[in-house]
């Protein structure tokens, strides 16, 4: 889907030349490389997450092209001197409403125009979705691109709020105009910080059956680890409010209900490190597996699944105050093949209606263990195999989608989804 397509009348549309489309498609690929289970059918949220994440990266990365941003906003010269080099922009062009409507926050304008019969319209302009706490529950918002837009809107709404606040704090010239270059610079800075948060959030998300609320907690934790004090620009508070306004609530377990940050691992004292080598544990999957196995009961890992350590990655991040944050992100997945009759015994879940005791179910659990710079467990963020309601919901979803009895190929799913969407 990365090349071009023909419109009914008119020249071909070269999707391979669109910044938005390249960023979107590449994000799918990178995300899949980091968290391969997110393409598996699981829940409306997980399918939508891939789409939303790809759009968020595409939208925020445009801001690294500062000339493009300036051109998209529109500029005016200082009124009293033609020779002045200061570029200005009228207040009315940078109100939250004007920003939301601008071409800047739309995805794939040319493709949008082509599939909308030449009307000047982006393919998606999610930020224009007004906040609504009920939308996530509506059946029509289960489709993945549509549902993904709710996630995009939550982030971009927060982006516009913070950017606008920072623009307002700038001084104005005669006629209430702002210095365009400063406006763009603030936007670029903010987009870069927000994009980094959105990507780093993945380190603090469970590797299976992700939902929007867990992603939110991952996002807030990623930022908290690097910038403990949020009082200056209130990024986290604004993001939390924005997600809430779109009906995305924090996970009911595992995170602080005020700040939204994941709680640190509570039973750290009870873990056994004696058989594991600290240093090897931070880069060797076998060594990390040994640690998991020795501590499986405290970590809530079931004996019933096949456990795989998917990755052990070192992470080094530089905070705004020049302090390095060193962590190791270890990802494991548990897989169990069970019969419907074993749902209660293995998954701690009631067998959903429509699923027979003889149905074969492939169930997953998994977690991310974040080690601090000393190789000690700091966070354990998991959706365990014995997941109760989460597992029951997943089985019911697969059963309703007709996916319980067949293996879906997650990767080709995205290509066909994009094509279907374009054909409208
Ligand atoms: Zn996509």
Question: If you measure from the C-alpha of residue 419 to the centroid of ligand 1, how many angstroms do you get, rounded to a whole number?
Answer: 10
Averaged pLDDT, 268-285:
84
Alpha-carbon Rg for the chain, nearest whole angstrom, is: 23
Averaged pLDDT, 276-301:
90
DSSP letters spanning 308-369: EEEEEEEEEEE-TTS-EEEEEEEEEEEEEEEEGGGIIIII--PPPTT--TT-EEEEEEEEEE
- Based on the fold, state whether residues 252 and 270 are members of the same structural domain: no
- Based on the fold, state whether residues 117 and 12 are members of the same structural domain: yes
Q: Please, what is the Cα angle at 213 between 208 and 218, to 5 degrees?
A: 70
Over the stretch 208-253, which tens digit does the pLDDT of each residue have?
999 999 999 999 999 999 999 998 889 999 999 999 999 999 999 9
Q: Please state, in angstroms and rounded to a whole number, the distance separating the CA atoms of residues 299 and 292.
A: 8
Question: If you measure from the C-alpha of residue 331 to the centroid of ligand 1, how many angstroms do you get, rounded to a whole number?
Answer: 24
Q: Please state, in angstroms and rounded to a whole number, the distance separating the CA atoms of residues 99 and 344.
A: 51
- Based on the fold, state whether residues 256 and 350 are members of the same structural domain: no
Number of structural domains the chain divides into: 2
Question: What SS3 string covers 159-200?
Answer: HHHHHHHHHHCCCCECCCEEEHHHHHHHHHHHHHHHHHHHHH
- Based on the fold, state whether residues 169 and 212 are members of the same structural domain: yes
- Based on the fold, state whether residues 17 and 140 are members of the same structural domain: yes
Question: If you measure from the C-alpha of residue 335 to the centroid of ligand 1, how many angstroms do you get, rounded to a whole number?
Answer: 27
Q: Please state, in angstroms and rounded to a whole number, the distance separating the CA atoms of residues 88 and 290.
A: 61
Question: If you measure from the C-alpha of residue 311 to the centroid of ligand 1, how many angstroms do you get, rounded to a whole number?
Answer: 25
How does strand 377-383 pair with strand 324-339? unpaired
- Based on the fold, state whether residues 125 and 256 are members of the same structural domain: yes
- Among 203, 233, 263, identify where a domain stops: 263
pLDDT at 417: 66
- Among 229, 263, 297, identify where a domain stops: 263
- Based on the fold, state whether residues 61 and 192 are members of the same structural domain: yes
Using a pLDDT cut of 70, give the percent of the chain over it: 92
CB 125 within 8 A of CB 107: yes
- Ion ligand 1: residues, CB within 5 A, are 51, 54
Nearest to 161 by CA among 229, 240, 249: 240
- Based on the fold, state whether residues 284 and 204 are members of the same structural domain: no
Q: How many CB atoms lie within 10 A of CB 258?
A: 8
- Based on the fold, state whether residues 332 and 192 are members of the same structural domain: no
- Based on the fold, state whether residues 125 and 248 are members of the same structural domain: yes
Residue with tokens 């908290």: 224
Alpha carbons within 13 angstroms on the beta-carbon side of residue 346 total 22
CA distances from 174 to 51, 86, 88, 92, 378 (A): 44, 12, 10, 14, 53
- Based on the fold, state whether residues 352 and 396 are members of the same structural domain: yes
Question: If you measure from the C-alpha of residue 24 to the centroid of ligand 1, how many angstroms do you get, rounded to a whole number?
Answer: 6
Query: pLDDT confidence of 190, banded at 50, 70, 90?
Result: very high
Q: What is the pTM of this model?
A: 0.92
Full residue range of the structural domain in which residue 9 is found: 1-263
């Amino acid at each position: 889907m990365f090349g071009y397509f023909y419109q009914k009348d008119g020249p071909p549309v070269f999707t391979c030349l669109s910044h938005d489309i390249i960023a979107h498609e590449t994000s799918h690929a990178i995300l899949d490389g980091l968290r391969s289970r997110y393409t598996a059918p699981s829940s409306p949220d997980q399918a939508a997450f891939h789409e939303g994440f790809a759009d968020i990266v595409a939208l925020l990365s445009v801001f690294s092209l500062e000339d493009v941003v300036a051109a998209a906003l529109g500029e005016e010269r200082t009124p009293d001197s033609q020779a002045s080099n200061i570029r200005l922009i009228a207040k009315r062009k940078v109100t939250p409403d004007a920003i939301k409507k601008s071409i800047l926050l739309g995805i794939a304008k040319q493709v949008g125009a082509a599939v909308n019969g030449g009307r000047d319209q982006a393919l998606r302009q999610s930020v224009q979705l007004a906040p609504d706490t009920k939308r996530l529950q509506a059946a029509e918002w289960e489709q993945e691109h549509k549902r993904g837009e709710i996630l995009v809107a939550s982030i971009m709404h927060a982006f516009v709020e913070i950017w606008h606040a920072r623009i307002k704090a700038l001084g104005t010239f005669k006629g209430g105009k702002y210095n365009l270059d400063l406006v763009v610079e603030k936007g670029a800075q903010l987009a870069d910080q927000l994009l980094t948060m959105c990507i780093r959030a993945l380190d603090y998300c469970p590797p299976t059956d992700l939902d929007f609320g867990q992603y939110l907690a991952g996002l807030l934790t990623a930022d908290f680890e690097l910038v403990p004090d949020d009082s200056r620009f209130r990024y986290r508070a604004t993001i939390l409010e924005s997600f809430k306004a779109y009906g995305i609530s924090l996970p009911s377990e595992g995170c602080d209900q005020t700040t939204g940050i994941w709680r640190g691992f509570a039973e750290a004292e009870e873990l056994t490190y004696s058989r594991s080598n600290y240093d090897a544990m931070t880069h060797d999957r076998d060594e990390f597996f040994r640690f998991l196995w020795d501590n499986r009961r405290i970590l809530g890992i079931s004996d019933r699944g096949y456990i795989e350590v998917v990755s052990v990655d070192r992470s080094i991040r530089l905070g705004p105050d020049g302090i390095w944050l060193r962590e190791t992100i270890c990802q494991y997945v548990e897989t169990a093949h069970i019969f419907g009759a074993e749902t209660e015994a293995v998954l701690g879940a009631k067998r959903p209606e429509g699923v027979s005791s003889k149905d074969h179910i492939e169930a997953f659990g998994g977690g991310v263990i974040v080690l601090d710079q000393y190789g000690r467990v700091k966070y354990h963020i998991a959706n365990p195999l014995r997941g109760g309601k989460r597992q029951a919901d997943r089985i019911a979803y697969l059963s309703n989608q007709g996916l319980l009895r067949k293996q879906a190929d997650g990767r080709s799913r995205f290509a066909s989804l994009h094509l279907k969407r374009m054909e409208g």
